[in-house]
Every structure is written in C-alpha cells, then in structure tokens.
A and B are shown apart, each in its own frame.
Chain A
Amino acid sequence: MHPEDLKPEQFSGYPPEARKLALEYLETFRRLPLSFLPNLLREVIEFDFKFPVERRLLEKELAQLRSLSQPDLGVWFREFTEIRLSESLEKSNWIASPAQFVEQLSAHLWATHQMDAFRHAALGYADKLRAAVAPEPPASARFGIAVIGQGVDDAPGPLFRKLRPYGAYFNAVNPENGLRQLLEAVAARANSNPAPYGHWYIDGGEPLPHSSRVTCVSYKAMEPVRAALLARIHAETQKTGMGPEALRTVMAQLRPVDLNMAPTGDPVLNRFQIKLLTEGSGTQIFSTSFVQWAAREALRRAEPLTLLARFAPRQRQKPMHELLSPGPEQVRLDPVGSVVDADMGAYYNWVNQQRLPGSEKSLFLAWFESHREAVAISPTLPRGTVSTETIDLRGILSWMT
C-alpha cells in the first residue's frame, strides 16, 4: 500500500474527529512519502485525545503541507524519499496502525544503518516547519515551579547546582506556609489567564487542596491504575508467545477503562495519564520518575502557562541481599535518594520549559520544601547570584515578576 492509493474508507477505524481531519487532508497525504506519512498519521489518529495546543499545531502543520507546491514538496521530503523501506513495511497496515508501523520502521532503520539518515531528514523537516509556521507565543510568561526534598532534614549535597548559574540562589528563605503560597500563586495565575489545561499541579504523593481551574495529576491518585497495570502486565507475560513487542502492542492499546479509570472522567486527561504509565519508564514504580515524566509530557504536549511539580519520596530500591532474604513485605521509602532524583528532575523541568515558545520571558522557581534554599530564574533576577536576605516565597515570587 502506497500513500497515493489512499482511500477514504481506510480511515473508518479512526476516532470521529481524527477521521474528519484525515479525510480533510486525504489529498495531501497522498503526496507524502511512506517513510514519513505514518509518522504523521500517528499524530492524527490521536487527535480526539490531544490538548488544545497540540490540535492547533497539528492543524497548522497539515495546512502547511497542503500549501506546498509539488517542487516544494520535493525539497521538503527529498531525504525521506531516499530512505529505503522493506516490502513488509510497505505491506503493513500502516493506516490503521501507524504507531506499530513506526516501531517496525525503527527496527528497519537501525538494521539497515539508515537511522542517522532518517534523523537528519526528520530534523531538517522540523526546521522547515518551524520556519514556516510561527510558534504560538504564550498569553503570559510561563512559570514553572519545582518543589523537592519532601521529608528530608538534610540534603545529601549542595542542591540546585545545575540551576544556580541561570538565576538567583536564596539561602535564607522563610519556609513557613511555603506550599500554600505557591499554590495560591498558581491559582491566581489560573484565575487571571484561564485556559483549558493551561495550569498544572503534579504531585508525587497525595495532592494538596488546589484550585479547580488547575489540572491535577498525582502519583497517589494513580495508585489503583498502577496496580491494575502491573496486574495486567503480569497476566500478559504469562501467555505463550508473549514477548516485549507483543506486550508493547497490548499496552499501547490499553484504554483508561481497561485500567479501572472512571469512564466519566475527562477523556483527554485520562488518556494522558494512562500514557504516562504505559509509555514512561519507571513511572509505574518510582514517584520521582513519575513526576519528572509527567511534567515533561505536560510541558511538551499541553504547553501550560503554569506548572507546579512537587516531588515526593519514592520507594527504596532493595539491594540484592535483601531481595534474596524473604521477609515481611513492606514498602520502604528512600527520601535522601529522592532528593537527588528530584534535584535533577527540577533541572529537567526547567530545560523542558525552556524548549517552549516565549522561553526568554519564562520564570522558574525551585524550592527545597520546608527549608531555606531556593533558586529563582527570571529576566528580572541577575544570573549566578546569591541572596542571603531573609525572604518568604511570596517575596521571591514578587521579585521574579
């Protein structure tokens, strides 16, 4: 099956809005090379479950592709057309299952030493697209907050070493009511710039009370889903013939209802949360990995104006001798290791925020929960400086804006 032979009925299995979108751009799809098109369809088929920003970006991308003349298309996709595909790839059902095609294409590219060529082609495409479709500036400066170190008296080493060069380090923060002040700041931003999925609160434990205008994801709330997922994985791995690829296919097809999520919930958010567990690594077992990956995916996909990520202690990794000694089953936590995880996670949250439009104006605050250390990054604050002034978080927030 080649793209030029596409027919409308082949999209009948797509969700309603995705199908409508696909049919609208069917003629455009027919002009694209097979090494590229399924990757695009992989996005299209998820259209019904995408965040508003993602939808707009995908629609702009499609519109841009439709506007290209044939010579322009030749320029945009020359490197993709030079990718050699296998017969089995060409014969696969890439229309109905584009994600599986992408997996198989990945294997093919590695095996035929074409991964570097594909990578070059893909990045070239991204550059052209970015030049043609201007990114959407945020309605106001983005604000990321990372709270780390819950339950720890002393950090195992200097904190925020990676963030300090980009902002002001505070070592005399008054921690009193710190979390409340931060949540109030998030709520205030949500009130002044209301937008669906525009303001997020991610917690590695049980979430604190927060504004209803804030999208909340928490490790604690996902506990039954995680348990259902692990049970499902265990059951699948017992089946004859099951292997990593087959399991991945099963996991990719899991719906929120398959993992005991309430069918009445927000379908977009439910899908997002399921993907955190089925596509993330370590998110099912370590709360620190969950928070970092959830923040990364929320930033990448929803492009929020505000994101508060609060890390919590993850379970402890047992050393080998404990694994071999049967004992009462109990989950023990590793607060100190979790601070190290979260410190790096905070840095990654900032890095990921900086990848979004408007990065030159964006703000970022990282705080050692219940302690006196914080680092604030803002155009209004000098980089690489240290403040010894006693100040509370509200005061730091006011300095940042």
Chain B
Amino acid sequence: MRAIATHLDSGFAVSYTSLAELLVAVHAPFRMANHRARPCVATDPRELARQLAFTRREFLRSAAKVALGSGLLPAGSRAFRATSPSKRKVIVITFGGGARDQETFAPEGRENIPHLLGELAPQSAFFTQVVNRGILGHYVATASLATGVYETINNFASLPPESPTVFEYFRKELKRPASDAWVVAPSNGFNRIGESSHRSFGPGWGAQVILPKYLLGTATSGQGDYGHLLRDSYETPLYAPELSGNIFELEQLEAILKVSVDDFRAHALTLSSPDELSVYIARQLMRQFAPSLLWVTLHDIDIAHAGAYSLYLEGIRRTDRLAAELWKAIQGEPEYAGKCTLFILPDFGRDSDEDAGGNGFQHHRTGDVISRTTWMMALGPGIREGVVYDRPVASIDLVPTLGSLMGFTASLSRGKPITEIL
C-alpha cells in the first residue's frame, strides 16, 4: 500500500506529491487568501461544488440550448424502456486526463469543444455535478469508475481493482461471452482494469483489455522514436509497468480483429496521437464483435502535466472530435444504432488557478473542489435529450446505473443508480 498515491501527478517521472504541494502552500508565503485576482465566493466545498455545477448548467442552457431537467420528469423513449435490457448496448468514454471548465464548459472554453457543445450536448442528459471523492490518479480513478467503489490500489503498479468490475457483474450475471465486454486503454498501466481480484469474481469474468500502444510497439518492433511514444502515461512517462494477466497480443490482431499487422502499422502512421489509435481499435471492435459493453479510456489531454498550455488545449480539441466520431460511428453501425447508450465523463478534473497549492491546469494534485467536481453526458435511446441536471451524483454511481440499464446487479458497488436516465 506504500506507493498508493505518491506519484499521482508526475509530469516527468518525478513530482511533488499532492500533500507536498499542499504543504508548500502552508509553509511558504503563497496563501490562498492572499490571492485577490478572483474573490472566493464560498469556502464550503459542497457550496463550491454547487456553485460550479450551477455555472456549468447556466452555460449549457445558454450555449447548447438545453433545458433544466428534474427528477420528476420521466426518462426518454418508452419504446426503448420496453426493450429487453439484454439487447441494450453501452459504450463508456472517459474524457481522459480531465479538463477544467474554463477550457471547456465556459464562455472562454467553448471554442475547444465545438462537438460536445454543438452536437452531443443537445442530444444528451447532462449532469453538471459529478463528484469524485476518491484518489485523483488516472488508473485508480478509472478503476473506481469501473467498480463503483473508491479503489485504493497503487496507481502505478500492475494491479487489478479489488472490487468487482462492471464487466464481471455484466458477464457473470448475464452469462455473456468474453467477446461481449472490452476495454481499450491508453497505457500499460491499465492492463489489469478489466478484471478484479475479488474472490467471487475475478479470473474468467472480466473484459478483454486492448492496449493499442503496446500493440503498436510490437508491430513496429521499436522502430522510430517509439520510446517517446510509449511514454506510458503523462503521469509517469518514463515507466511502463510490467504487463501481466491476459494481454491482447499482436497475433490476435489479425485473428480476432481482422486487421493485418501491416494495415495496423500503416494506419498508425496516419494518426497524430495515441487516442486516435484507441478510437480506431474501438471501431474495429464494434465492427467485428459489436460488444454490448465497451469502455474506451482516452488520455491525450493529460499532456497538460508537461506544462504546455497549447498542447493541453490541442488534447481537449482532439478528444472533443474523437468523442463525436465515436457517437457518429454508433449511429452508423446497425448493431448499435438505436440500441446503444453512450456515456462520456472525465475521471476527474484539474486544479484551479486559484489554489496556491497547485500550478493551475498542469496537474490534479490539490484535491480541491474544481478537480473533484466533473460532469457526465448520457446519450442514446431512452435518455432524455437536451436536459441538464445539477443535483450532485457520485462518479461511483456509474456502475449501478449501467447495471440498472443492462439488467445486472452491481451488488458490491457503493454507488446508487442515477434515476434520471433509467
């Protein structure tokens, strides 16, 4: 347990710890209250989160013309609700790396998310106050999203989640084959995310995990500046944890995904980022298997850890485009059109400019309200379109919500189903 969070936010192999950053603020002259640039409206975290959600809501109402939702309103199409849960499909996209409102859902950020704002938000139920009370490291936070429990595993070790994952609930209870649940993840560190170490689930019930960068490394045999690309994650770019567990290998690319190594390599040469490669793989999966449960973890935005604001903005714009491309792909695939619910949510946010313990957009170290209070979009049949909800929900509510939607029980999850989208 020693290593759990000491490097949650390394931008270049080393970093302050979250705590050390906070203590910088305590034992040094930077004082939060001395910052006069933007007066603090509230100090209570819940009130701050509520204000943030309210601001987000009002922006969406103005920019995307969405309506204020209420728990009293029924969910969407009755026809879809009459559809057997066993025929429903779900795709989850984590808006990887986290972005702040001022670069996204705020007047000054809208230019970076034209697709989310102009195309997806009007078709979605948008939750403006999704609170993550767990550890703010990408692997462990994604594991928490996938289990519905705030996991405390080492963010940088090759470890499975300790609580059952959504994939295990789904496959075991509904007796689904391995080909029906997949994860596409950005880095080696995520290779154990598909299957927990929980004794009642575990081996044989998880999702298959594809690590596109790992496959690319094998396909290119390390040619080119691959070491730079392989940079496992922006949190710990110099470390690619040892792989273990069931790994989707290059040989399976052709046998299972029907993509030749040459085609894969050639296609990769046309792409500009690892997330584009992940979306390419996700689309291959959709065509070949049409899995009922597909989880895509995007990560380009996390380049912010290197401190280059322009690259962070590029990452947001690319992720915005890729999310819309996946939604379009869903509409274009007969196996998905009219049957699939898409969830888009960040694992958490990033530090605010106001918190002296951090360094603005660069990291997510402080654990402040801004970095914990994110959002979620849900789109698809049965979901009310163009509504915004600002009541607080927890990031661990996703798994029980998926359970209610697809017909399984997330018995060990600590979250609650989000009734507005059921």
Contacts and interface: CB of A to CB of B under 8 A. Distances in A.
Given A103-B20, A127-B33, A320-B229, A247 B238 contact: yes
How would you classify the secondary structure of chain A's contact residues: helix, strand, loop or mixed?
A: helix
Contacts of B273: 319-320
B174 interface: no
A112 B150 CA distance: 11
Interface stretch (B75-83, B202-210, B281-289, B305-313): B305-313
A106 B18 contact: yes
A359 B307 contact: no
A289 B34 contact: no
B224 A324 contact: yes
Contact of B23 (A102, A288, A289, A322): A102
Given A324-B268, A356-B29, A118 B19 contact: yes
Given A106-B5, A247-B238, A281 B10 contact: yes
Contacts of A233: 13, 238
Interface in A125-178: 125-127, 129-130, 135, 161, 166
Contact of A107 (B4, B305, B367): B4
Nearest to A339: B310
B16 interface: yes
A314 interface: yes
A341 B274 CA distance: 22
A288 B367 CA distance: 26
B304 to A, nearest CB: 9
A104 B2 contact: yes
Contacts of B305: 281-282
Given A324-B226, A354-B37, A39 B27 contact: yes
A273 interface: no
Contacts of A324: 216, 220, 223-226, 229, 268-269
B11 to A, nearest CB: 2
A283 B6 CA distance: 20
A102 B17 contact: yes
A337 interface: yes
B1 A107 contact: yes
Given A122-B26, A126-B25, A292 B307 contact: yes
B3 A344 contact: no
Contacts of B311: 317, 337
B271 interface: yes
A255 to B, nearest CB: 15
A110 interface: yes
A248 interface: yes
A42 B22 CA distance: 13
A284 B367 contact: no
A331 interface: no
Contact of B362 (A279, A281, A300, A347): A281
Interface residues of B, number: 81
Contacts, number: 257
Contact of A110 (B20, B152, B220): B152
B14 A293 contact: no
A325 interface: yes
A360 B307 CA distance: 28
Contacts of A135: 29
Contact of B272 (A43, A279, A320, A354): A320
Interface stretch (B244-252, B353-361, B387-395): B353-361
B199 interface: no
Contacts of B16: 279
A149 B270 CA distance: 31
Given A39-B26, A281-B363, A326-B224, A106 B6 contact: yes
B150 to A, nearest CB: 7
Contacts of A282: 11-12, 305-308, 362
A119 B6 CA distance: 16
A122 B11 contact: no
Interface of B: 1-20, 22-37, 45, 108, 133, 135, 150, 152, 156, 216, 220, 223-226, 228-229, 236, 238-239, 268-274, 276-277, 303, 305-311, 313, 353, 356, 359-363, 366-367
